[in-house]
Amino acid sequence: MSTRRITEHDVPALALGCALLGTGGGGGVEPEVLATTRALREHGPVPVVTLADLADDDLILPLSAIGAPTVAAELLPSGAEAGAIRRVVEARYGRAVAAVMATEIGGANGVAPVGWAAGLGLPLLDADGMGRAFPELQMVSMNVAQIPPSAVVLADTVGNVATLDTVDADWAEQWARALCVASGSSAVLADFVMTAAQARTGVIAGSVSRALRLGTLLREAADPLPALIAELGAAHLVTGKVAAVARRTEGGFVHGTATVRGTGPYTGTEVVLDLQNENLRARQDGRVLAVVPDLIAVVDAYTGVAVATESLRYGQRVAVLSWACDPIWRTPRGLALAGPAAFGTDLGAADAS
Amino acid sequence: MSTRRITEHDVPALALGCALLGTGGGGGVEPEVLATTRALREHGPVPVVTLADLADDDLILPLSAIGAPTVAAELLPSGAEAGAIRRVVEARYGRAVAAVMATEIGGANGVAPVGWAAGLGLPLLDADGMGRAFPELQMVSMNVAQIPPSAVVLADTVGNVATLDTVDADWAEQWARALCVASGSSAVLADFVMTAAQARTGVIAGSVSRALRLGTLLREAADPLPALIAELGAAHLVTGKVAAVARRTEGGFVHGTATVRGTGPYTGTEVVLDLQNENLRARQDGRVLAVVPDLIAVVDAYTGVAVATESLRYGQRVAVLSWACDPIWRTPRGLALAGPAAFGTDLGAADAS
């Protein structure tokens, strides 16, 4: 049994790591740092377990917030959502949940499950369903592994709870998104509730440890940017200034583009990022430098700290990095679910610009 | 125990009565006549029971289709919706449903429950939750009587099923509408699942018999329009030609206005109808002649057969009738839920015209 526990003192490092793996999305981590720190203070540290610690039929509850990041910073959760979801899930399965899992390690959704686990008195599984952030809920490794979405349970800030039995994960996304928008573009969601035996075939292990390691490096390294690039094995696409940001919030998503104009050794290089909550693609002179499912992060040029899509501002000094995704996303079904073709309209529209 | 049964031969009369009580809305009855006739042929007649026939703890399943009438005529139900809903409701309550009830006697929603009851092998309760048609699902007598909406269960044509535990009926409407729109503006819904004891405090009794009686009168009377006016105790607002129709389908509803220009003894009279799926209000020279919750029907000038909102056409010869609603709608809570103020935007916008 792992003896690792997450305390309130780990939250800043975890948040830095999650923000980086969020590739611009998954929501700004700041509100979650406050909420999670408070939850850990109130309920005590959260034990971190690995899949090896769980029995085959232990029930795992993957949780995430769903909505537009620009809204999430203003319409805060009520705090009762995870408890309401757990009650519905346990009633449905007729047994207790053994561990919470972050559906998405990237961004706020990597941090919030720690607070939810603390509030529920449950351990957190050292794993997630993306290894990064993605904008839609069918884009998870459990879906690549063909684990059914099972009942999707969604709770909003008002106290409403929906149990969705959909024919597939695409319909789960469509319905959950519709409810999320109806509730002000902010809700908490459980999907792909599964046993540990199922999870062994379809989750990305070690995600929480990885986020903590990356965040600790950013806090402790003397020269964080080169240390980060070395740790990730990342390509350094550009360092420069944010020269343009075009963003709109629509249908529960943030869409748009951002342009980074190189400075110093990168003078003359201009990288355009295509966004849908996350950084989907980086282009230079129409040439694709990196694209989903690989990870693209915009980080502060000096501190290496990730800049979220909704925090991009004209004139910021940033570096753009890219690195390889988890191998599960390079499988044919992984690429079909979260490769460039899965983002057709956004990436297509950007091509025309 | 009542021995009344609805057979396939009753469907045309039932449909005429429901169309009239639909006050222009609740969906055009024609597709339901076909589907319900087929269901009765396949599964046999449906027994009609009254509240007096049921034991206090017998479970009643109110069913209705939800969506835009203009869409309902094109995106047909799969036929599996009612069965999927029943399974979820029976699993949740841990016992069998005793009877189906029409949530809304007006329009297609008064006819379809007969076919659903036949398919489920259940009797139909001689009652409904409106005594007419209304466009939103919180506008039911069960809500006036403060029966909780309980779990709202919605099934779409694809096979998706949602169970909604909302804090109140307004949220049930908001969430069900969002899912309905996400599924192409057509779905089947159960809400206010209740015991017979609860139903005795909050349903409108005799609605199915009434629709059958009105429809039979229209089919059999030598001079249907005067006979209908006498039976309903209706005010005869105008007889004339449809001179203008303005309609738009938006957010799952049909909105608009229709103008009827008087002919013969009504020459010089022009009646404007404000619509939101149903006929909400009749005006003449800016003066309100009739308004929700009272019933306003546009009927064929010769046959007395109701004309649905989505079937209004320029040049049609019609009469406009109005008559009093069930007394439950004149209570303070009834008026708050389904009186003119509950239709604020539509009726407000029409005032400006």
Q: What is the pLDDT of residues B21-42, one digit of tens each?
A: 999 887 778 888 999 999 999 9
Query: Does the pLDDT value for residue A142 go beyond 60?
Result: yes
Note whether A142 and A231 are same-domain residues.
Answer: no
Residue A63 domain-assigned (yes or no): yes
In a domain, A217, yes or no: no
What average pLDDT score do residues A36-51 get? 97
Per-residue DSSP letter, A27: -
Q: Which of A137-151, B21-35, B333-347 has the highest mean pLDDT?
A: A137-151
- Give me the half-sphere count of Cα atoms (radius 13 Å) on the Cβ side of residue B62: 30
Residues A227 and A106 in one domain: no
Answer with the residue of higher pLDDT: A239 or A347. A239
Q: What CATH number does residue A342 fall under?
A: 2.40.390.10
Please check whether residues B169 and B229 belong to one and the same domain: no
Q: Provide the pLDDT for residue A17.
A: 97
The position carrying tokens 């110093």 is A264
Region B250-270: mean pLDDT is 90
Q: Indicate whether A18 and A164 sit together in one domain.
A: yes
Kindly state whether B55 is in contact with chain A, defined as any CB-CB distance less than 8 angstroms.
no
Rounded to a whole number of angstroms, the distance from the CA of A162 to the nearest CA of chain B is: 4
Same domain, A169 and A269: no
pTM for this prediction:
0.83
pLDDT value at residue B256? 92
Q: Does some domain include residue A213?
A: no
Q: Which residues face B320 on adjacent strands?
A: B238, B298
* A182 vs B contacts (CB less than 8 Å): 174-175, 177-178
Q: pLDDT of B157-185, one tens digit each?
A: 999 999 999 999 899 989 999 999 999 87
CA A182-A187-A190 angle, to 5 degrees, is: 120
In the prediction, which pLDDT does B349 show?
Answer: 40
B165–chain A Cβ distance below 8 A for any pair: yes
What is the rounded average pLDDT for all residues in chain A? 91
* pLDDT in the model for residue A1: 46
Percent of chain B with pLDDT over 70: 93
CA distance B6 to A349: 56
pLDDT at A32: 87
**DSSP string covering B295-330, please?**
EEEEEETTT--B--GGG--TT-EEEEEEEPPPGGGG
Single out the residue in B163, B186, B209 at which a domain terminates: B209
More confident residue, A174 or B251: A174
Asked whether residue B217 is domain-assigned, the answer is no
- Annotate B8-72 with DSSP letters as a single string: GGGHHHHHHHHHHHTTT-S--SHHHHHHHHHHHHHH--EEEE-GGGS-TT-EEEEEEEEE-HHHH
CB contact under 8 A, A167 and B175: no
For B158, name the nearest residue in chain A, comparing CA atoms only: A167
- Residue B23 and residue B100 in one domain: yes
**Domain tally, chain B:** 2
For residue B350, what pLDDT is reported? Answer: 40
Give yes or no: residues B195 and B230 share one domain.
no
B257 and B284 together in one domain: yes
Contacts of A250 (CB under 8 A, 6+ apart): none
What is the rounded CA–CA span in Å between residue B323 and residue A85?
A: 47
Whole domain around residue B270: which residue ranges? Answer: 223-351
Helix (H) or strand (E) holding B142, with range, is: helix B141-144
- State the ipTM, two decimals: 0.80
Q: Do B227 and B257 share a domain, yes or no?
A: yes
Q: Are B166 and A179 within 8 A, CB to CB?
A: no
Q: What is the pLDDT of residue B343?
A: 85
Give the model's pLDDT for residue B347. Answer: 63
3-state secondary structure of B280: strand
Q: Are residues B105 and B248 in the same domain?
A: no
pLDDT of B69: 55
Residue B215 lies inside a defined structural domain of this protein: no
pLDDT tens digits for range B269-322: 999 999 988 899 999 998 999 999 999 999 999 999 999 888 899 999 999 999
CB of B91 within 8 Å of a chain A CB? The answer is: no
**A312 inside domain:** yes
Give the closest of B159, B171, B181 to A167, CB-based.
B159
> Within its chain, how far is the Cα of B99 from the centroid?
19
> Considering A208, A230, A259, which residue would you say is the last residue of a domain?
A208
Rounded mean pLDDT of B245-267? 88
Q: Give phi and psi for B33, each to the nearest 5.
A: -60, -45
Interface test with B, best of A150, A153, A161, A177 (most B CBs within 10 A): A161
Alpha helices for A155-257 (secondary structure H) = 169-182, 196-199, 207-220, 224-232
pLDDT score of A163: 97
Q: State the pLDDT at residue A353.
A: 36
pLDDT score recorded for residue A351: 43
Q: Does residue B56 register a pLDDT over 50?
A: yes
In a domain, A214, yes or no: no
Pair A250, A303 in one domain: yes
Q: How many residues does chain B have?
A: 353
Asked if B255 and B266 touch (Cβ cutoff 8 Å), the reply is no
What is the spatial distance between Cα A329 and Cα A200, in angstroms, rounded to a whole number?
16
DSSP string, A122-176: --EEEEESSSS--SSTT-SHHHHTT----SEEEEETTS-EEEEE-SSHHHHHHHH
Q: What is the pLDDT of residue A308?
A: 86
CATH (domain of B70): 3.40.1610.10
* A252 or B20: which leads in pLDDT: B20
* B155 within a domain of the structure (yes/no): yes
Q: Averaged over A282-288, what is the pLDDT?
A: 94
- Host H or E run for residue A34: helix A30-43
pLDDT tens-digit readout, A303-332: 999 998 888 999 999 999 999 999 999 999
Statement to judge: residues B141 and B99 lie in one domain: yes
Q: Does B269 touch chain A (CB under 8 A)?
A: no
Last residue of a domain, one of B159, B185, B209: B209
- Per-residue pLDDT reduced to its tens digit, A206-233: 999 999 999 999 999 999 999 999 999 9
